[in-house]
Amino acid sequence: MKIFPAIDIKDKKCVRLVKGDFDNKTEYEISPVDQAGKYKDHGFKNLHIVDLDGALIGETVNFDIIQEIVHKYNLKIEVGGGVRTIDSIKKYIDAGVEKVILGSAAIKDKNFLKEACQKFLNKIALGLDAKDGYLSVSGWKENSNQLTLDYLKEINDFGASRLIYTDINRDGMKQSPNFEETSKVADTSNCPVIISGGVSSIDDIKKAKTLKKNIEGIIVGKAIYDGDIKLEELAREIDA
């Protein structure tokens, strides 16, 4: 089970949103680069970064910060937020990012996802953000009227190397992830799945570890920043 501590970047700061609402955000004093260093110091190997500015406008706004994190620390980093073109994907991969997360652009244009998976083998992660079973896009501002599992069946053979499933109703709420729905997604998905949204305590990590083998890891965000999960205890759950 891989553990992905999260860094969400907005206005060059670490922030956390509640249910993806940009008007309901908490800013933290620590810079994204220093926060990444903290994770590195505690022994984490993986990192989940979202460029929230990018997600809103569809461009790689915080590329410089992310590039600095990549160069400074030897971490396996997955990055999402505003990646809408092949050039943006290439830019991140050239910078040393392990996987680029495609969300809105992949849902709105399946051919874009297919092309990206073919061009960048094992480098594309698919980010599926769902609310009540339906996919949301554009920084969760729009509902796509598409059922998550229906979409997944359509693109399952495209070659994505990872799937990040977020239940928006749980995100930032610290009410535990939607393990049931994530398990359904993992049953359907041809690639390994990452659990995202709602992690509230170390018990959620322990429960995630008991789930079926197609679940690769879990993302932890707000619970770290708010002190509900201490980095020391989370680090003990890292697989050797």
CATH for 91: 3.20.20.70
- pLDDT, averaged per 10 consecutive residues of the chain (240 residues), comes to 96 90 90 98 98 91 97 97 96 98 94 98 96 79 83 98 94 88 96 96 95 93 93 88
Task: Summarize pLDDT for 25-83 with one digit per residue, the tens.
Answer: 999 999 999 999 999 999 999 999 999 999 888 899 999 999 999 999 999 999 999 99
pTM of the model: 0.95
In a domain, 93, yes or no: yes
Work out how many domains the chain is built from and give that number.
Answer: 1
Where would I find the beta strands (DSSP E) of the chain? Answer: 2-10, 13-18, 21-28, 46-51, 76-80, 99-102, 124-131, 134-137, 142-147, 162-167, 193-196, 215-220
Position 20 scores a pLDDT of: 81
Q: Which residues are catalytic?
A: 8, 129
* Domain presence at residue 140: yes
* Domain contains 240: no
φ, ψ for residue 135, nearest 5 deg: -75, 145
Does the residue 227 lie in any domain?
yes
Predicted local distance difference test score (pLDDT) of residue 141: 64
Q: For residue 69, give its domain range.
A: 2-235
In sequence order, what E strands does 40-199 have?
Answer: 46-51, 76-80, 99-102, 124-131, 134-137, 142-147, 162-167, 193-196
CA atoms within 13 A on the CB side of 178: 21
Residue 155 belongs to a domain: yes
Quote the pLDDT of residue 240: 46
